[in-house]
Amino acid sequence: MKHPMKKQKKVAIVGVGLLGGSLALALGKQKDLSLVGWNHRSASRKRASRLLRMSKDMDGAIRNSDFVLLCTHSNEIVSLLPKIPDLASPDALIMDVSSVKNEIAQKAARFSWAPYHFVPCHPMAGREKSGPENADAKLYEGKVVFVTPLPKTPESVLKRAVEFWRRVGAKAVVLSPERHDEYVALTSHLPHLLAAALVDTYGKYKQKNPIIERAVGSGFRDTTRITGGNPAMWADILQMNSHKIGFFLSLYRKKLLELENKINKKNSKDWKNYFEKVRKTRNKL
């Protein structure tokens, strides 16, 4: 006697770029899931269709879905939410993957249904290369995914979100949206801005001193690699997390002023101790 086929869960991936495409590859071989994607622009829909079945309209992708992954830019998430409950399965779980959480969580909390269906998430799995053509089945493996519930999210819903991320090999870390935004402001958004300012300073100097190009080594390349990221995505981040980023930028500028004063003092032992302390912190990362 044949074992009756267990009904597959439908996963809708809205916005199949690097993160959405990598989800598609990581989930693609799980037999209890059926995937469907959607991209707004037909060109990117076509590129994504090498990774998973793509729907021609968003409603069709979301209809009867058990999981809806919103993988679009941060500033589009809240406007997408209201149309989902009418289309998706009655117990659908909606998650996003964008880099800023507090504004999204606060606005989403205004929908009475949101605590039962929407859990904001942020996988720490970005790369400087975007687009579905850079998707990688192992992108999430061993990575942290921040799961930042709304004030009224029930434990059972939070648990479903945490378990979902285990499917792609990620480790869920539950955190308030506000704390999350503060942490990434320092570990991701500030470094991006600092690297951008460094490249900008270099670019201006290079116009008059083209030979400086030969003095670019692996250190400069490492330090500025993140500035290869998607400009539109980073513009959203800078707007949506401006308060926390501004706070750390101001703190950091004060730190640079201290260093500038230290340079003028020319005390070598002082510098050695400073770099030793910093290396110790860095080696623990």
Hey, which residues between 132 and 171 contact its own copies (CB under 8 A)? Answer: 143-144, 146
- Closest approach of its own copies to the CB of residue 61, in Å: 27
Report d(CA 237, CA 248) in Å as an integer.
15
Number of residues that bind its own copies (CB under 8 A): 92
- Closest approach of its own copies to the CB of residue 120, in Å: 15
Considering only residues 185 to 244 of the shown chain, the ones binding its own copies according to CB under 8 A are 186-188, 190-203, 205-206, 209, 211-229, 231-232, 234-236, 238-239, 242
Report the residue number, 32 or 128, with the smaller CB distance to its own copies. 128
Question: Which two structure tokens, joined as six digits, stand for 248?
Answer: 């750390």
| Residues 181/244, Cβ–Cβ less than 8 Å | yes
Residue 45: partners with Cβ closer than 8 Å, 6 or more residues away: 16, 38, 39, 54, 56
Report the residue number, 64 or 273, with the smaller CB distance to its own copies. 273
- Closest approach of its own copies to the CB of residue 146, in Å: 7
Report the residue number, 40 or 232, with the smaller CB distance to its own copies. 232
Report d(CA 49, CA 13) in Å as an integer.
12
* Count of all residues that appear for the chain in the document: 285
What's phi and psi for 241, nearest 5 deg?
A: -125, 30
- Closest approach of its own copies to the CB of residue 74, in Å: 11
Per CB under 8 A, 5 contacts its own copies: no
95: left (phi over 0), alpha (psi -120 to 50) or beta: beta
- Closest approach of its own copies to the CB of residue 105, in Å: 16
What's phi and psi for 12, nearest 5 deg?
A: -100, 130
Report the residue number, 33 or 249, with the smaller CB distance to its own copies. 249
Closest CA to 97 of 85, 115, 80: 80
Binding flags for its own copies, 59-98, as an x/- string (CB under 8 A):
----------------------------------------
From 4-12, 47-55, 76-84, 249-257, span contacting its own copies (CB under 8 A) = 249-257
Considering only residues 260 to 279 of the shown chain, the ones binding its own copies according to CB under 8 A are 260, 263-264, 266, 268-269, 271-279
Report the residue number, 8 or 187, with the smaller CB distance to its own copies. 187
Report d(CA 51, CA 49) in Å as an integer.
5
- Closest approach of its own copies to the CB of residue 156, in Å: 24
Report d(CA 58, CA 78) in Å as an integer.
15
Q: How far is CA 263 from CA 144, 249, 256, 272, in A?
A: 38, 21, 10, 12
Report the residue number, 33 or 199, with the smaller CB distance to its own copies. 199
- Closest approach of its own copies to the CB of residue 145, in Å: 10
Task: Tell me which H or E stretch contains 77.
Answer: helix 77-80
Binding flags for its own copies, 100-139, as an x/- string (CB under 8 A):
------------------------xxxx------------
Residue 106: partners with Cβ closer than 8 Å, 6 or more residues away: 177
